[in-house]
A and B are shown apart, each in its own frame.
Chain A
Amino acid sequence: MTATAIRMEELRRDFGAVRAVDGLTLEVPAGTVFGFLGPNGAGKTTTIRLLLGLLEPTAGRAVVLGFDTRTQAAEIRARTGALLEHSGLYEQLSAEDNLEFYGRAWRLPAAERQKRIREVLGEMGLWERRKERMGNWSRGMRQKLALARAQLHRPALLLLDEPTAGLDVMAAVAVRDDLAALATRQGSTIFLTTHNMAEAEKLCRQVAVIRQGKLLAVGTPDALRAHAGGPRVEIIGRGFGEQALALLRERPEVAAVGVQNDHLTLDLRAEADTAPLVSLLVGAGVQVEEVRRGKASLEEVFLTLMEEEK
């Protein structure tokens, strides 16, 4: 396998006058979990369809696992597992028969097929329910089964389109745990689209943010946080009066001051020492109860990027 699992070069896709993907240039290293973040309608699903060779690019190119999506799409699909917008499961069939069909489609020999079906259903906690018609299953269980199907043939690359979208909190956590276990266990490359920042933060080693088909940022979650802003201090206490806030705003290391009830948030310009700031507040009559250093969440990074783009 090549060191780069996916390479996009000025990838573009138009639907009439609408530009769904707008000159994406991006590399996804092999063996990583890569998050592709963006709001609804950002072009995430179109990008997955382009990577699978289900749609042809209007311009530019994409190379997946060393194969060109335009001319070698069948080779890509043979080595890829996909969980798309819909789970794509056959509701009339049992869970086992759904996997049996895709096992046959991926030409797994009968003995190997049975072994893998048992393995993946076992890993997802669905083995006991394998004979049930899955039309009656909850959305969370269906998603687990779809995930089992996507990895049945041990693909080198998994393309997952919003795998936890529409799930309740418990089901989403369960699917997220399965994904985390899958990434550790299998060592495949996982390309995951989501608009759930917590999910990306938990699972992804690298993330890219897109909006209206354009790439806004790419890097590790930490690098993106650094891009979006410096370190942050949260102070919990009482008596955050105007005088104290004015003193803080005068300090060169303080980039922004925000207060809400008993919470004061300070965005710092660099890795500044917090102690003088706390002393300043105490001197101004503030009763400090707790001081926490932190970083911007990926969600805040995402919102900052969206604002910048606007």
Chain B
Amino acid sequence: MIADILAVLWKEMKELSLRQGRGLGRGLLGTLIIPLVFGIFLPWQEGRRWVSTSPFPLIFSVWMPLLFVSSVVADSFAGERERHTLETLLASRLSEGAILFGKLAAAVSYAWGMTMISLLLGLVTVNLIYGRGELLLYPAETAGSMVLLSLLGAGLMGGIGVLVSLRSPTVRQAQQVMSLVSMVLLFGVIYGLRALPLAWREALLRPLLAAGVKQVVLFALAALLLLDGVLLAAAMARFRRARLILD
């Protein structure tokens, strides 16, 4: 099973790198803009706080993978369907699990890798501009949280993306749905909270505000892990050869 997942992962990463390489000036710029903003511009604006008191690195470690994943995961099954390669893939000896996990692993590792690069770039930027001979590092707890949050955040969006891609006849449609999902995830939380009566909002936020950063991060990790598991199970249930052939 592992060898089969790696075979799919190899193919996906190869295709992804070739797509990015050929899209120079459009695809590549689109990919680089996020590390440039979150790895250079924002740390430069925040200064030394970026590695000490700023909540941004933690927030971005969840948010950035969502952006990276949504840009690639839409293609996973809808792209195969659109380019007429899906049936041949399904006719191979690869199991449903290997195909699904291989594609998901490709999207997650790309998004997680890019997020890690962006956060490291932020560290380099802060050290170059504000270090003054001192080595500035993220606190160990923050670094660990960022690694885990970004991984689980990528898993969350990857799971949603695979489900959307499995159902979409074209890549364009999958991308549109993914954009909508990203917007809902981002603005839905903000405006959803605002729409609630004040008493409800306070009742919801009071425990979080009282808990402190560590507990909030642990809660977020647990919630993401649960959601990732649910989405993965849903994707596994949805991925049936006969259904994909007939879609």
**Residues of A participating in the B interface, judged by any CB pair closer than 8 Å:** 49, 52-56, 73-74, 77-78, 80, 82, 84-93, 97, 101-102, 104-107, 133, 146
Contacts and interface: CB of A to CB of B under 8 A. Distances in A.
Given A54-B87, A54-B245, A105-B4, A93 B94 contact: no
Nearest to B12: A101
B91 A54 contact: yes
Contacts of A84: 87-88, 91
Given A54-B242, A101-B14, A105-B93, 10 more contacts: A53-B241, A54-B90, A55-B242, A55-B246, A84-B87, A90-B85, A93-B14, A93-B15, A97-B14, A102-B92
B171 to A, nearest CB: 13
B88 A101 contact: no
Contact of A92 (B4, B19, B90): B19
A52 B14 contact: no
A56 B89 contact: no
A106 B92 contact: yes
Interface string B180-221: 000000000000000000000000000000000000000000
A101 B89 CA distance: 10
B7 A91 contact: no
Contacts of B22: 92
B245 A55 contact: yes
A77 B245 contact: no
A56 B241 CA distance: 10
Contacts of B91: 52, 54, 77, 80, 82, 84, 88
19 contacts: A54-B241, A54-B245, A74-B93, A77-B93, A80-B91, A86-B85, A87-B84, A88-B88, A89-B85, A90-B11, A90-B83, A92-B15, A93-B18, A97-B14, A105-B4, A105-B8, A105-B94, A106-B93, A107-B93
Main secondary structure of the interface of A (DSSP, over half): loop
A91 B83 contact: yes
Given A101-B7, A104-B10, A49 B245 contact: yes
A107 B90 CA distance: 16
B207 to A, nearest CB: 49
A82 B84 CA distance: 14
Interface string B95-130: 100000000000000000000000000000000000
Contacts of A88: 84-85, 87-89, 91
Contacts of B85: 86, 88-90
A101 B11 contact: yes
B18 A86 contact: no
Nearest to B95: A74
A88 B141 CA distance: 47
B140 interface: no
Nearest to B88: A88
A266 B19 CA distance: 63
Contacts of B90: 54
Interface residues of B, number: 28
Contacts of B83: 90-91
A270 B242 CA distance: 50
A90 B15 contact: yes
A77 B15 CA distance: 24
B74 to A, nearest CB: 16
A205 to B, nearest CB: 25
Contacts of B4: 105, 107
A104 B8 CA distance: 9
B3 interface: yes
Nearest to A75: B93
Nearest to B6: A104
Contacts of B87: 54, 84-86, 88
Contacts of A93: 11, 14-15, 18
A78 B15 contact: no
A67 to B, nearest CB: 13
Nearest to B9: A104
Task: Name the residue in A54, A93, A106 with the highest tally of chain B Cβ atoms < 10 Å from its Cβ.
Answer: A54
A54 B94 CA distance: 13
A49 B246 CA distance: 11
A57 to B, nearest CB: 11
A90 B11 CA distance: 9
B103 to A, nearest CB: 13
A89 B11 CA distance: 12
Interface in B1-40: 3-4, 6-8, 10-11, 14-15, 18-19, 22
Nearest to A155: B93
B27 to A, nearest CB: 12
A93 B22 CA distance: 12
A87 B19 CA distance: 21
Given A54-B245, A77-B92, A88-B85, A107 B10 contact: no
